[in-house]
Amino acid sequence: METLAQRFLTEAERRRISEATRQAEALTSGEIVPMVVSASHDYPVAAIVGATIFALPPALALTPFIAAPLWLGHQDTWIFLALFSLFALPAHALIKRTPALKRWFLSAVQVDEEVREAAVTAFFDEKLYRTRQENGILIFISVLEHRVWVLADSGINSRIKPEQWQEIVDHITSGIKEKRQGEAISEAIARVGEILRDHFPITADDPNELHDLIIR
C-alpha cells in the first residue's frame, strides 16, 4: 500500500523535481535536498479526540431512550458507556487510518513543533551539516500536516537571513493548495539555486554530495 508521501507526487513529478535539483546545483556549490514525508508524528491523541467528539453526542442522546424502558434509573451510566464505546471504537479506527479526518483534530501548535523537530532530525540524519562549505539546505514537506519547512546549514545562515526562505515556503504551500505540488516544488528549488548562486557559486571540483529527492 502506498504511503501519503508516495501518493503525493507522480513519477513524472519526481523526475521533474530531481532534474530541478540537479539544474539548481549546477549554479551553486550549495547542496539542495527536497524531502517529502508522509507525516512528522503519529498524533495518537488526535484519533482519541476525534472519536470522543463523534461518539459523545449520540451516546448522550440515545442513553435515556434505551434506559427508561428498562427501569435502570441511575444505572443508565452503563448504557451510556456501552453506546459510547459502540460509536467511539470504530470512529477511532477510522480517524487513525484516514489522514483527511485526522487532520481535523490536530493541534496547530503541536503540528508546528512536530514538523520543526522532524525537519531538524532529518537534516542531521541526511548529513546536510557535513558539506564542505556548510551550505546544505533542506526543503522539508510533511504531507499530513500540510507544512513546509526550510532548514539551512550555518554557512548559509551566516550570509542569508532565514526569513528569506519564507518565500520558498509560501510558494510551495500555495502550489500544494492548487494541486500543482510537483511544479511548485520544482520552481522553489530553482529559486533556491538562484539565491545560493550569489553567495556560493559553483566550483570546478564541486561534487553532488547529497540526494536529489528523498521520499519517506
Question: Do 94 and 198 share a domain, yes or no?
Answer: no
Cα–Cα dist 175/80, whole Å: 46
Question: Do 60 and 113 share a domain, yes or no?
Answer: no
Contacts of 78 (CB under 8 A, 6+ apart): 72
Q: For the residues of the chain, what is the DSSP string, one character each?
A: ---HHHHHS-HHHHHHHHHHHHHHHTTBS-EEEEEEES-S---HHHHHHHHHHHHHHHHHHHHHHHHGGGT-GGGHHHHHHHHHHHHHHHHHHHHHH-HHHHGGG--HHHHHHHHHHHHHHHHHHTTGGGSTTS-EEEEEEETTTTEEEEEE-HHHHTTS-GGGGHHHHHHHHHHHHTT-HHHHHHHHHHHHHHHHHHHSB--TT----S-S-EE-
CB 116 within 8 A of CB 88: no
Cell 453506546 belongs to 83
Question: Do 112 and 203 share a domain, yes or no?
Answer: yes
At residue 67, the pLDDT reads 67
Question: Do 137 and 202 share a domain, yes or no?
Answer: yes
Question: Do 96 and 15 share a domain, yes or no?
Answer: no
Tens digit of each residue's pLDDT, the chain (216 residues) = 788 899 999 999 999 999 999 999 888 888 899 999 999 999 999 999 999 999 999 998 888 887 666 655 556 788 889 899 999 999 999 999 999 999 999 999 999 999 999 999 999 988 888 878 888 899 999 999 999 999 999 889 888 888 889 999 999 999 999 999 999 999 999 999 999 998 888 876 656 555 678 887
CB 129 within 8 A of CB 153: yes
CB 47 within 8 A of CB 92: yes
Question: Do 68 and 126 share a domain, yes or no?
Answer: no
The pTM of this model reads 0.86
Cα–Cα dist 66/92, whole Å: 24
Strand order in the sheet with 31-37: 147-152, 136-142, 31-37, 214-215
Question: Do 169 and 124 share a domain, yes or no?
Answer: yes
At residue 68, the pLDDT reads 65
Contacts of 25 (CB under 8 A, 6+ apart): 31, 32, 193, 202, 208
At residue 65, the pLDDT reads 80
Q: Which of 183, 127, 122 is nearest to 149 (CA)?
A: 122
At residue 73, the pLDDT reads 56
Residue after which a domain boundary falls, among 83, 105, 127: 105
At residue 15, the pLDDT reads 93
Residue after which a domain boundary falls, among 58, 82, 105: 105
Cα–Cα dist 34/213, whole Å: 5
Domain membership of residue 58 as a residue range: 44-105
